[in-house]
Amino acid sequence: MIDVLPEVEVEFDAEQVAEGTLTPLVTAEQLAKMPPPDGFTELVEGVIYQMPPAGHDHGERAGNMFLFVAQFVRQHKLGKVYAAETGFILKRNPDTVRAPDVAFVTAVRAAAQTRREGFFDGYPDLAVEVISPSETAEQIQAKVQDYLQAGTRLVWLVYPTTQTVTAYASLQNIRVYTIEDTLTGAEVLPDFSLPVRDIFA
């Protein structure tokens, strides 16, 4: 976690004020104005979390996923694909900003974003997260819940250590793809198919 810069005005959670445990809550707009950290940050219910830079294997898998998804989306003119560290505002009051490794947004929803600066105001239709060994099961589950509750229709969790992909259409509709399977885009990316082994090639 990183400290909130002193020149940035912050607000406090009412319950914490009543309990006498003051924790400054940061908004998405305040986060966007802060200097770039060494690594990248996410905002979870107003609290900043800082992550170290990703390892090279993580970066390679994320790059592969971006390439495969972006090529398909561009070929079929389905919308826009966003690279790692693009912030998506999933929740307000307090604010939550997640930064998936790869994200897809439909053409209609992408066109509705009138601001060129700042984070994407809303959820990605597809969120891809390459899971690092340091991430706990609790942290991973929290990410998935944040995406799905915000409206994300499909979440892919890419696990380099096991060479698998776990796909969430909901918290109840979960499928695990192994190295022998072919990943599909379901209703979010119709006709998209990708041999899982190509992600880890």
Where residue 137 sits, what CATH number does that domain have? 3.90.1570.10
Q: Are 124 and 141 part of one and the same domain?
A: yes
Count of domains observed in the chain: 2
- pLDDT at residue 29 is higher than 70: yes
Q: Are 143 and 171 part of one and the same domain?
A: yes
Q: What is the pLDDT of residue 23?
A: 63
Mean pLDDT in the chain?
A: 87
pTM to 2 decimals? 0.84
User: For residue 28, which of 14, 39, 13, 44 has the smallest C-alpha distance?
Assistant: 44
168-191: average pLDDT? 97
Q: Are 70 and 46 part of one and the same domain?
A: no
Q: Are 78 and 134 part of one and the same domain?
A: yes
167-174: average pLDDT? 97
* Domain membership flag for residue 1: no
Q: Are 130 and 186 part of one and the same domain?
A: yes
User: For residue 108, which of 86, 125, 90, 84 has the smallest C-alpha distance?
Assistant: 125
How far is residue 165's CA from residue 145's CA, in Å, rounded to a whole number? 17
- pLDDT at residue 175 is higher than 60: yes
